[in-house]
């Protein structure tokens, strides 16, 4: 009995040390990001001079690391000034190390020419993420697995919204979007020295990555509505309208009891350090936030799905962390079976009035069982009727299935986030835990009616895959977006004032329709547009309506509005939008820099650095 107690004690200590290490790594990342030093370079084959993609480039003894891109480039940002030992590991090559000195505010450049390894492929084996650097050097044939040498990432095609004539289409209707995955994914590309694919840039997700604030009282509804009007920075003759929603914040201690099911992908594609190893450390941060009234089950899937941990009280952190720590990657990806088992587990342990949610963490690379987009969407649509919501967390590079994961979240009454490092994991699973886990309003739709006396044309910036038909607004059977505790949502319209030409293609005169007459005067001369919002309670079936008139007179913009406009301009440039006109990265940097506001967490400062990186590396010139 004493021996068993001793073993349990050692096990608890080991799990505690693992948790402390995860939290300590987050602190290290935060401290390092306060600096501005960076190291960039390329990894090349010493014999051929060809780039070496998927090499793992890291700073020894720190959590900083990334894989080289298809051109062999890497970019390690947010480092402290001083000397850093940079290590490169790649399958089929001998490891390489070099000490690099870098000054504060500077970027040091170092290139690596790797020599082929004489070790056979059969001798190469994977080293777990937690192994010490000394072991890596003692056994140089052990190496970090990067993504495959080929890239199979997939993104849904998003044609940009164009201008519409108010005379032909006075109503604009769309579903809100609180996903933030696109910004973190775009950041991952830029920090790797790559230009992100155009379809990876979803402007509304980039804008909504950042927290915003309003002073309006919430009243009877779970969220407040605010609007602002300003001149469009990229086209001063046009107006820019901001529609903002701010949901009520809920402290973690006051969240309803949670019935959470962690659905974790442990297939072979998850073996690299930015996937399953990062996933385990990220979920350890969430486990630390759990309370006795919360419950957690863990379902995993690879070649088949299985229940690793039955529903367990949240204060039994040792058991939950031990179940996480034992996970290893291998096999194919039976995603459909995993989702079915996760929802079944959630139903069995349902908490009435609680937060019943499946949290799916994956690279999205489903390839066994139900795997087509249509099959997976229908599956989660059926399950959402049980009242169980879905959160999707994307991990990794090389085979990220962004389009599939976004669809699952959208159709499963949930949200989609991308986790590229521990700091992002802390943002999603600790700082924004309420919004990630607690839904305050579902099926939230916005419909805007434009006043033809004031507006000739308009375009909605972003939300291309969230557009609805006008009649969908009042249809309570039509699914729409969810709003979580503390979430802020911003939508921007670019408006062409009445009397100005609307930039769009020529349309031939119609044969049967009368020519449009000038709109008659009305009692709404001082209004630019009228905003209507519908939403349902999380367990409700009938929607409620809010209405808000937008004055036609511009006002001095808030820092939040100016910053959101800068992010929108950045997204337009990354998408090669013709609507950006002569707007430049320098314009984005100036506007964002002047509108950072308090920026307590440094997110806006990081955005300015990203825009500077795109400019300095000339990524927009690479086609």
- The H or E element spanning position 460 is strand 455-461
129 pLDDT above the threshold of 50: no
> What is d(CA 191, CA 524) in angstroms, rounded to the nearest whole number?
49
What's the pLDDT tens digit per position in 540-556?
899 999 999 999 998 89
What are the φ/ψ torsions at residue 200 (nearest 5 degrees)? -80, -10
> Strands 389-395, 414-419: parallel, antiparallel or unpaired by DSSP?
parallel
Same topology between domain 35-122 and domain 183-247+440-504+521-621: yes
Q: Which fold has domain 35-122?
A: Immunoglobulin-like (2.60.40)
11 pLDDT above the threshold of 60: no
> What is d(CA 513, CA 509) in angstroms, rounded to the nearest whole number?
9
- CB of 52 closer than 8 Å to CB of 71: no
> What is d(CA 268, CA 476) in angstroms, rounded to the nearest whole number?
42
Domain boundaries along the sequence of the chain: 35-122, 183-247+440-504+521-621, 252-425
206: left (phi over 0), alpha (psi -120 to 50) or beta: alpha
> What is d(CA 158, CA 33) in angstroms, rounded to the nearest whole number?
33
Percent of the chain with pLDDT over 90: 53
Q: How confident is the model at residue 69 (pLDDT cuts 50, 70, 90)?
A: confident
- CB of 369 closer than 8 Å to CB of 275: no
> What is d(CA 191, CA 609) in angstroms, rounded to the nearest whole number?
10
The Cβ of residue 13 has, within 10 Å, a number of other Cβ atoms equal to: 11
> To which CATH superfamily is domain 252-425 assigned?
von Willebrand factor, type A domain (3.40.50.410)
Percent of the chain with pLDDT over 70: 85
CB contact set of 595 (below 8 Å; sequence gap of 6+): 559, 560, 562, 563, 566, 604
> Strands 488-497, 544-551: parallel, antiparallel or unpaired by DSSP?
unpaired
CA 405, 409, 415 angle in degrees (round to 5)? 115
461 pLDDT above the threshold of 80: yes
Q: How far is CA 328 from CA 56, 302, 480, in A?
A: 19, 10, 36
DSSP classification of residue 199? G
Residue identified by tokens 């229940």 is 307
Q: How confident is the model at residue 588 (pLDDT cuts 50, 70, 90)?
A: very high
Q: How far is CA 531 from CA 241, 524, 545, in A?
A: 11, 14, 10
> What is d(CA 202, CA 394) in angstroms, rounded to the nearest whole number?
15
- The H or E element spanning position 15 is helix 2-33
**The pair of three-digit structure tokens given for residue 242, joined into one six-digit string:** 């901001």
Higher pLDDT, 23 or 122: 23
What's the pLDDT tens digit per position in 463-492?
999 999 999 999 999 989 999 998 899 999
137 pLDDT above the threshold of 80: no
> What is d(CA 302, CA 276) in angstroms, rounded to the nearest whole number?
12
312 pLDDT above the threshold of 60: yes
What's the pLDDT tens digit per position in 247-261?
988 888 889 999 999
Residue identified by tokens 């820099």 is 593
CATH of 183-247+440-504+521-621, one of 3.30.70.20, 2.60.40.1230, 3.60.40.10, 3.40.50.1370: 2.60.40.1230
**The pair of three-digit structure tokens given for residue 16, joined into one six-digit string:** 């505690």
> What is d(CA 199, CA 178) in angstroms, rounded to the nearest whole number?
18
> What is d(CA 255, CA 438) in angstroms, rounded to the nearest whole number?
7
- The H or E element spanning position 417 is strand 414-419
> What is d(CA 340, CA 74) in angstroms, rounded to the nearest whole number?
39
CA 557, 558, 560 angle in degrees (round to 5)? 125
State the chain's maximal CA–CA distance in angstroms.
93
> What is d(CA 416, CA 178) in angstroms, rounded to the nearest whole number?
8
CA dihedral (229, 231, 237, 242) positive or negative: negative
What's the pLDDT tens digit per position in 412-438?
888 899 999 999 999 999 998 888 888
Instruction: Please tell me the predicted confidence (pLDDT) of residue 250.
Output: 87
31 pLDDT above the threshold of 70: no
Q: What b-and-e string marks burial along 476-506, b requiring 16 or more CB atoms within 10 Å of the CB?
A: eebbbbbbbbbbbbbbbbbbbebeeebbeee
- The H or E element spanning position 562 is helix 559-574
What's the pLDDT tens digit per position in 285-310?
999 999 999 999 999 988 667 899 99
What are the φ/ψ torsions at residue 111 (nearest 5 degrees)? -110, 145
Average the pLDDT over 323-333 and give the result. Answer: 82
What's the pLDDT tens digit per position in 55-65?
889 898 876 78
Higher pLDDT, 566 or 372: 566
Closest C-alpha to 303, from 342, 341, 340, 266: 266
Dihedral of the alpha carbons of 598, 181, 533, 478, in degrees to the nearest 10: -170
H-helix segments, 133-213: 133-138, 181-191, 203-207
> What is d(CA 246, CA 441) in angstroms, rounded to the nearest whole number?
11
What's the pLDDT tens digit per position in 493-526?
999 999 999 998 777 777 887 776 777 777 788 9
pTM for the whole structure: 0.77
Q: How confident is the model at residue 181 (pLDDT cuts 50, 70, 90)?
A: very high
> What is d(CA 204, CA 462) in angstroms, rounded to the nearest whole number?
5
Higher pLDDT, 151 or 45: 45
Instruction: Please tell me the predicted confidence (pLDDT) of residue 196.
Output: 94
Closest C-alpha to 529, from 215, 240, 209, 136: 240
> Strands 481-484, 455-461: parallel, antiparallel or unpaired by DSSP?
unpaired
Average the pLDDT over 167-186 and give the result. Answer: 94
Output the average pLDDT for the chain.
Answer: 84
For residue 120, with 0-12 CB atoms within 10 Å meaning exposed, 13-18 middle and 19 or more buried, which class applies? exposed
Instruction: Please tell me the predicted confidence (pLDDT) of residue 130.
Output: 34
Instruction: Please tell me the predicted confidence (pLDDT) of residue 4.
Output: 46
């Amino acid at each position: 009995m004493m021996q068993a107690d001793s073993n349990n004690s050692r096990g608890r200590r080991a799990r505690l040390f693992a948790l402390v290490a995860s939290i300590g790594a987050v602190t290290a990342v935060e401290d390092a990001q306060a600096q501005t030093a960076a190291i960039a370079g390329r990894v090349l084959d010493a014999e051929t001079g060809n780039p070496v993609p998927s090499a793992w480039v890291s700073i020894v003894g720190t959590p900083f690391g990334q894989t080289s891109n298809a051109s062999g480039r890497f970019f390690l940002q947010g480092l402290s000034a001083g000397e850093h030992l940079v290590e490169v590991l790649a399958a089929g090559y001998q490891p390489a190390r070099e000490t690099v000195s870098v000054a504060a505010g500077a970027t040091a450049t170092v290139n690596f020419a790797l020599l082929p390894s004489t070790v056979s492929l059969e001798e190469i084996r994977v080293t777990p993420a937690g192994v010490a650097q000394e072991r890596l050097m003692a056994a140089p044939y052990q190496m970090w697995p990067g993504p495959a040498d080929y890239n199979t990432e997939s993104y849904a095609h998003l044609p940009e919204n164009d201008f519409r004539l108010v005379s032909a289409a006075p109503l604009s209707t769309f579903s809100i979007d609180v996903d933030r995955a696109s910004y973190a994914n775009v950041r991952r590309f830029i920090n790797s020295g790559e230009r992100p694919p155009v379809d990876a840039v979803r402007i509304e997700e980039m804008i909504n990555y950042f927290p915003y604030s309003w002073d309006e009282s919430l009243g009877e509804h779970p969220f407040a509505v605010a609007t602002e009007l300003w001149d469009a920075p990229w086209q001063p003759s046009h107006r820019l309208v901001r529609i903002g929603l701010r949901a009520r914040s809920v402290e973690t201690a006051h969240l309803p009891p949670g019935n959470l099911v962690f659905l974790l992908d442990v297939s072979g594609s998850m073996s690299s350090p930015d996937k399953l190893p990062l996933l385990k450390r990220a979920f350890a941060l969430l486990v630390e936030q759990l309370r006795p009234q919360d419950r957690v089950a863990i379902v995993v899937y690879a070649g088949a799905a299985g229940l690793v941990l039955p529903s367990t009280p949240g204060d039994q952190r040792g058991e939950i962390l031990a179940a996480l720590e034992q996970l290893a990657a291998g096999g194919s990806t039976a995603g459909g079976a995993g989702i079915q088992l996760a929802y079944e587990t959630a139903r069995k342990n349902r908490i009435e009035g609680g937060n019943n949610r499946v949290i799916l963490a994956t690279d999205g690379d489903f390839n066994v069982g139900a795997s087509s987009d249509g099959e997976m969407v229908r599956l989660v649509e059926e399950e959402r009727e049980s009242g169980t919501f879905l959160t999707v967390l994307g991990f990794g590079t090389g085979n990220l299935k962004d389009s599939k994961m976004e669809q699952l979240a959208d159709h499963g009454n949930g949200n989609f986030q991308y986790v590229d490092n521990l700091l992002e994991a802390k943002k999603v699973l600790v700082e924004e835990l309420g919004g990630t886990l607690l839904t305050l309003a579902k099926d939230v739709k916005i419909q805007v009616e434009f006043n033809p006396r004031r507006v000739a044309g308009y375009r909605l910036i972003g939300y291309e895959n969230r557009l609805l038909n006008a009649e969908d607004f009042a249809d309570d059977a039509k699914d729409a977006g969810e709003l979580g505790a503390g979430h802020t949502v911003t939508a921007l319209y670019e408006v062409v004032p009445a009397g100005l030409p609307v930039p769009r293609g020529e349309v031939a005169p119609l044969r049967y329709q009368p020519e449009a007459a000038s709109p008659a005067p009305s009692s709404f001369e001082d209004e630019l547009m009228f905003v209507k919002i519908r939403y349902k309670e999380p367990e409700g079936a009938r929607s409620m309506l809010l209405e808000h008139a937008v004055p036609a007179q511009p006002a001095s913009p808030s820092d939040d509005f100016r910053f959101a406009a800068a992010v929108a301009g950045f997204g337009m440039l990354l998408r090669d939008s013709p609507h950006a006109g002569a707007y430049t990265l320098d314009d984005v940097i100036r506007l964002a820099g002047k509108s950072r506001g308090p920026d307590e967490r440094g997110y806006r400062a990081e955005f300015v650095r990203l825009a500077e990186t795109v400019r300095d590396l000339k990524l927009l010139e690479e086609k």
